[in-house]
Amino acid sequence: MKVGAAMFFTDYSMTPAELAMALEERGFESVWAPEHSHIPLARSAAYPGGGELPKMYYDVMDPFVTLTAAVAATRTLKVGTGICLVVQRDPIQTAKLVASIDQVSGGRFLFGVGNGWNQDEIEDHGTDFATRHKLARERIEAMQAIWTQTKPEYHGEFVAFGPMMTWPKPVQKPHPPIIVGGAFPWGAKRAVRYGNGWMPHRVRKHYADVAALVPQFRALLAEAGRREEDCPITIWGVKEDRDALLADRDLGVERVVLSLDAAGSEAILPQLDRWAKLVEAVR
């Protein structure tokens, strides 16, 4: 089982290069960067984690910029969006961003995607919150066409374009893995339909521990005629618990990701030193 770490990169956190090098040195597989373009002051949607929205949500940098810095500072560490809000991004431009970072990283990019919870933020981008799930699917399908076809075109309800030529194509074939974030059952169903992996949180408010839902997810895959190895599980938000991590490994979870505070090296490096022992234990 692989272990990654995520951070909201800000102007007061460790830099992406600093964290990436520290993770690579300690045997981590990947570094992940979340995305929020902005946080509207008039906010109707509740924070899924409960309580007040943490400051780092307001301050986070663009994930493609921070992950490019992480790539430049490392040799083997994978980099992932955790998650990219495709409902807030143009699919043609985003397809180029994904292909470009996959090229400059030598095929180390993991495309974590999600459809978002912050209705006000999403609607500021001109997206109807009620139809965002279908919009996300069409944008991802359109990007898949761009990555894999010489003269791609796409004709959907929300996304439509005629034949075009656009390069580069990704290093990874047919494209970087699309790892779909979201809770069970709807996020899991979207992963089965168009993803190359499912990425739920360890525990979300009103939901059980995701480990209890793994058999149900695998049943969805089997019903759709898909193999488990083609759509593996990444569990987000894991704790520093050796027994729980070994249980995830034995359950066949491909990857776990710990969430780090947006803090400096003096706070983060001691945590990573402790985690390094767990990384070795769950391999």
pLDDT in tens, 210-222: 888 999 999 999 9
Confidence of residue 50 (pLDDT cuts 50, 70, 90): confident
The radius of gyration computed from the CA coordinates of the chain, to the nearest angstrom, equals 18
| pLDDT score recorded for residue 214 | 93
248 close to 1: Cβ distance less than 8 angstroms: yes
Confidence of residue 243 (pLDDT cuts 50, 70, 90): very high
| pLDDT score recorded for residue 203 | 76
What does DSSP assign to residue 174?
Answer: S
* Average pLDDT of the segment spanning 139-144: 98
3-state secondary structure of 117: coil
177 has pLDDT over 90: yes
Confidence of residue 42 (pLDDT cuts 50, 70, 90): confident
| pLDDT score recorded for residue 26 | 97
232 close to 255: Cβ distance less than 8 angstroms: yes
| pLDDT score recorded for residue 6 | 98
What pLDDT digit, counting tens, does each position of 13-29 carry?
999 999 999 999 999 99
3-state secondary structure of 229: helix
Q: What is the average pLDDT score of the chain?
A: 96
* Average pLDDT of the segment spanning 200-208: 74
The proportion of the chain whose per-residue pLDDT surpasses 70, expressed as a percent, equals 98
Give pTM, 2 decimals. 0.96
* Average pLDDT of the segment spanning 272-281: 94
The residue that leads in pLDDT, 203 or 89, is 89
d(CA 68, CA 278): 27
Instruction: Examine residue 174 and say whether the peptide bond preceding it is cis (omega within 30 degrees of 0).
Output: yes
Confidence of residue 283 (pLDDT cuts 50, 70, 90): confident
207 has pLDDT over 90: no
280 has pLDDT over 80: yes
92 has pLDDT over 70: yes
Q: Which among 74, 69, 65 is positioned nearest to 30, based on CA atoms?
A: 74
Confidence of residue 205 (pLDDT cuts 50, 70, 90): low
265-282 and 242-251 helices, crossing angle to 10° = 50
| pLDDT score recorded for residue 133 | 97
The residue that leads in pLDDT, 209 or 130, is 130
Long-range contacts, 122-130 (Cβ 8 Å, 24+)? 122/85, 122/87, 122/88, 124/37, 124/38, 124/40, 125/37, 125/87, 125/88, 127/87, 127/88
Domain locations in the chain? Answer: 2-282
Superfamily (CATH) of domain 2-282: Luciferase-like domain (3.20.20.30)
Query: What are 269's two structure tokens?
Result: 């490096």
